[in-house]
């Protein structure tokens, strides 16, 4: 079953690179804040690199002006996520998080089988808005679509 409004975000460990690989607990990351978590099927893939992440980079200040943090999650390793963030000029303060084994993605119930594309288990494309670790809205894309998880769609829906 997929996560829905009113549910707590699941507890899982994600990774990011700061002074080496850092394991971070989702409760520590997402509790006590307003956050949009958006997921992409894969770093460096076309829609993710040409539209999805760039939209959040472009509108990052507008999210911050609303008091909302932004986190990008993908079933990739932290080194790939760091290289992708650097290549996309991700601003300081935007969280780029690796869910290498897909634990967070599975706990959300938002995994997909991308084996037909040589990618194995990946995340569906989505955006979740949460306050203090509680989900307020879940926007999941239909297969092959990119609309409801875009920064341009999510931003005006925020309180």
* Alpha helices, DSSP H, located in the chain: 26-30, 46-47, 53-58, 60-65, 78-87, 103-108, 151-154
How far is 37 from 107, CA to CA, in rounded Å? 14
pTM for this structure? 0.95
Going along the chain from its start, the domains and CATH numbers come out as: 13-126+135-157 (3.40.30.10)
Name the active-site residue from 29, 36, 48, 98: 48
Q: Identify the residue whose tokens are 């690179």.
A: 17
pLDDT score for 25: 97
| Those residues with Cβ within 8 angstroms of residue 52's Cβ, 6 or more apart along the chain or in another chain | 38, 40, 125, 146, 149, 150
Show pLDDT as tens, one digit a residue, over the chain (159 residues). Answer: 799 999 999 999 999 998 899 999 999 999 999 999 999 999 999 899 999 999 999 999 999 999 999 999 999 999 999 999 999 999 999 999 999 999 999 999 999 988 878 787 899 999 999 999 999 999 999 988 999 999 999 999 999
pLDDT score for 133: 97
pLDDT score for 19: 85
Q: Identify the residue whose tokens are 């080194």.
A: 79
How far is 116 from 127, CA to CA, in rounded Å? 24
pLDDT score for 119: 80
How far is 118 from 34, CA to CA, in rounded Å? 35
Active site residue 72: no
Q: Identify the residue whose tokens are 């990052």.
A: 60
Q: Do the Cβ atoms of 127 and 36 come closer than 8 Å?
A: yes
pLDDT score for 104: 98
How far is 20 from 150, CA to CA, in rounded Å? 30
DSSP state of 117: G
pLDDT score for 120: 75
How far is 44 from 63, CA to CA, in rounded Å? 23
Q: Do the Cβ atoms of 33 and 132 come closer than 8 Å?
A: yes
């Amino acid at each position: 079953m997929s996560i829905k409004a009113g549910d707590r975000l699941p507890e899982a460990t994600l990774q990011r690179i700061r002074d080496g690989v850092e394991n971070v607990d989702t409760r520590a990351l997402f509790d006590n804040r307003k956050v949009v978590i958006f997921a992409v099927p894969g770093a460096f893939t076309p829609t993710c690199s040409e539209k999805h992440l760039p939209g959040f980079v472009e509108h990052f200040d507008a999210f911050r002006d609303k008091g909302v943090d932004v986190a990008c999650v993908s079933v990739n390793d932290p080194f790939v996520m760091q290289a992708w963030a650097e290549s996309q000029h991700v601003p300081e303060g935007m969280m780029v998080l690796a869910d290498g084994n897909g634990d967070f993605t599975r706990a959300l119930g938002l995994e997909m089988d991308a084996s037909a594309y040589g990618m194995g288990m990946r995340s569906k494309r989505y955006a979740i808005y949460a306050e203090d670790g509680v989900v307020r809205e879940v926007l999941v894309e239909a297969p092959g679509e990119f609309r409801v998880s875009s920064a341009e769609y999510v931003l005006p829906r925020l309180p």
